[in-house]
Amino acid sequence: MGEPFADDNANGRHDDGEAFEDLGIDGVAGTGDYGEGNGVYDDNPRVANWLSQSPAERVRRGRSI
């Protein structure tokens, strides 16, 4: 679903401050896939879009449903 990361708080999601491997969403170095080497944690863009539409996620982030 996203780049490999250290889930320090065991919530199953990458949070700000958690270490991650900047390998892209396939988790393999050198393939040039989405997000590889860009310096930020990347979710799969399709998953990120789906989550942004989720009512529970919108509430969690303080957005209106």
Q: Is the pLDDT of residue 63 over 90?
A: no
DSSP state of 55: H
Distance separating alpha carbons of residues 33 and 16, to the nearest angstrom: 22
Quote the mean pLDDT of the chain.
Answer: 89
Tell me the domain boundaries of the chain: 1-65
Specify whether the CB–CB gap between 55 and 65 falls below 8 A: yes
Which pLDDT score is estimated for 13? 86
pLDDT single digits (tens) 1-24: 789 999 999 998 899 999 999 999
DSSP state of 30: T
pTM for the model stands at: 0.70
Please give the average per-residue pLDDT across 38-42, as a whole number.
Answer: 96
